[in-house]
């Protein structure tokens, strides 16, 4: 499984579409096999889901992601974990242990929403 974490410095970026980089993780048997940081492409509407899909990403982790972007990622079959406010290394550790919890989406400011906190539990095929 390949995961992309929206990255700003050593932290999970709070605004997915405007993050400066992505940390790509290849996970096999619930262990990181490869970790690569790539610069984010120039921001263009509707581009990131296709860009990350072409890189083989199956799940993204970010602090915030707009509603339309969530829909686009779902159309590409990419799972979304949002509301994460952690250092990247801690988010990775929590994810691998099945303890990374989605929090409040930073990109839903002003929108009426109801967020539930769900724990991510990696499946055995990850």
What was the pLDDT predicted at 125? Answer: 40
What was the pLDDT predicted at 99? Answer: 93
| Residues of the chain under the 70 pLDDT cut | 106-126
Helix (H) or strand (E) holding 123: none
What was the pLDDT predicted at 36? Answer: 97
Residue whose tokens read 């406010």: 85
The domain segmentation of the chain, as residue ranges, is 2-108
- Predicted confidence (pLDDT) per residue in 61-86, tens digit: 999 998 888 899 999 999 999 999 99
% of the chain at pLDDT higher than 90: 67
Residue whose tokens read 């263009």: 44
CATH number of the 2-108 domain: 3.30.420.130
Q: How many CB atoms lie within 10 A of CB 17?
A: 18
Q: What is the mean pLDDT of the chain?
A: 85
**Cα dist. 21→17, 44, 61, 113 in Å?**
10, 15, 12, 28
Q: In angstroms, rounded to a whole number, what is the distance separating the alpha carbons of residues 49 and 76?
A: 7
pTM for the structure as a whole: 0.82
């Amino acid at each position: 499984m390949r995961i992309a974490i929206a990255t700003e410095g050593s932290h999970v970026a709070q605004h997915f579409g405007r993050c400066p980089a992505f940390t790509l993780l290849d996970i096999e048997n619930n262990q990181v096999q490869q970790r690569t940081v790539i610069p984010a492409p120039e921001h263009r509407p509707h581009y990131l889901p296709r860009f990350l899909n072409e890189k083989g990403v199956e799940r993204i982790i970010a602090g915030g992601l707009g509603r339309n972007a969530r829909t686009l990622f779902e159309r590409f079959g990419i799972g979304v974990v949002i509301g994460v406010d952690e250092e990247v290394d801690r988010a990775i550790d929590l994810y691998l242990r099945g303890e990374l919890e989605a929090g409040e989406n930073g990109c839903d400011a002003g929108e009426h929403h109801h967020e539930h906190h769900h724990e991510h539990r990696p499946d055995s095929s990850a």
